[in-house]
């Protein structure tokens, strides 16, 4: 019997990194917006502070993002490294349909810092935990809809020009970029370390 838990678990197992993408999509832009909105509304955050900010770039806007990444990397990365690694990877990301930028807004934490000063040092860490959940949830949902995705981290290399291009507040902290599109190749190979070295259960 199929249960909700088994369906969700199947989504987790199917989620993989796919970097070979085309600029097509199997779902509508409206459906993409719906999934992003659901994840934004229902992903946990510390003290329900709701600090996650998701910026969705589609089509030409998505391409502009990776043009910016190309320009930033070519100007700051050693030429040999750029030609061998950054240039082909950025071209592959640009070939996709869209990118979701995951930000964390530190402003909502100000009230918490006043109320819970003894926890102030932990808030940045917990903020990243929440962003990670946003990333994993949306990645899984987009894969379940037939899209290929890969999670990238071109921050802080692109932070300033991206903020300027799309009017993003400077205080928002860019955490990751989820690239997606129609798969044009198989997922990356995935191997697993032994579970007995990673999962420990007491009392069963």
pLDDT digits (tens, 9 = 90+) for 75-91: 999 999 999 999 999 99
Element (H, E) at 58: strand 52-58
Give the domain extent around 176. 21-186
pLDDT digits (tens, 9 = 90+) for 143-154: 999 999 999 999
Assess whether pLDDT exceeds 80 at residue 1.
no
Q: Is 88 within a domain?
A: yes
pTM: 0.95
Residue 6 is predicted with a pLDDT of 85
Q: Is 201 within a domain?
A: no
Q: Which residues of 46-74 are buried (b: 16+ CB within 10 A; e: fewer)?
A: beebebbbbbbbbeeebbebbebbbebbe
Q: Is 87 within a domain?
A: yes
Q: Is 13 within a domain?
A: no
pLDDT digits (tens, 9 = 90+) for 20-70: 999 999 999 999 999 999 999 999 999 999 999 999 999 999 999 999 999
Residue 9 is predicted with a pLDDT of 86
Q: Is 91 within a domain?
A: yes
Q: Is 143 within a domain?
A: yes
What value does the mean pLDDT take over residues 176-204? 93
Residue 50 is predicted with a pLDDT of 96
Say which residue the tokens 């044009």 belong to. Answer: 184
Residue 134 is predicted with a pLDDT of 98
Distance CA 11, CA 33 (A): 19
Q: Is 204 within a domain?
A: no
Judged by DSSP in three states, 153 sits in: coil
> What's the number of domains the chain is made of?
1
CATH of the domain at 30: 3.40.109.10
Q: Is 90 within a domain?
A: yes
Assess whether pLDDT exceeds 90 at residue 5.
no
Distance CA 62, CA 76 (A): 22
Q: Is 3 left (phi over 0), alpha (psi -120 to 50) or beta?
A: beta
Residue 158 is predicted with a pLDDT of 97
């Amino acid at each position: 019997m199929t249960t909700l838990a088994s369906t969700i678990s199947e989504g987790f197992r199917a989620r993989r990194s796919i970097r070979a993408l085309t600029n097509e999509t199997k779902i509508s832009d409206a459906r993409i917006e719906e999934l992003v909105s659901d994840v934004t509304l229902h992903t946990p955050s510390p003290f329900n502070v709701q600090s996650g900010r998701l910026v969705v770039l589609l089509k030409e806007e998505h391409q502009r993002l990776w043009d910016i990444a190309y320009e930033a990397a070519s100007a700051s990365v050693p030429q040999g490294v750029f030609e061998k690694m950054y240039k082909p990877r950025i071209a592959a990301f640009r070939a996709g349909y869209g990118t979701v930028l995951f930000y964390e807004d530190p402003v909502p934490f100000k009230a918490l810092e006043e109320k819970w000063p003894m926890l102030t040092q932990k808030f940045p860490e917990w903020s990243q935990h929440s962003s990670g959940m946003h990333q994993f949830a949306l990645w899984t949902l987009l894969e379940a809809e037939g899209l290929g995705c890969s999670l990238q981290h071109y921050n802080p290399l692109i932070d300033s020009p991206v903020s300027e291009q799309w009017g993003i507040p400077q205080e928002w902290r860019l955490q990751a970029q989820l690239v997606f599109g129609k798969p044009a190749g198989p997922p990356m190979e995935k191997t697993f370390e032994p579970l007995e070295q990673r999962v420990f259960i007491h009392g069963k």
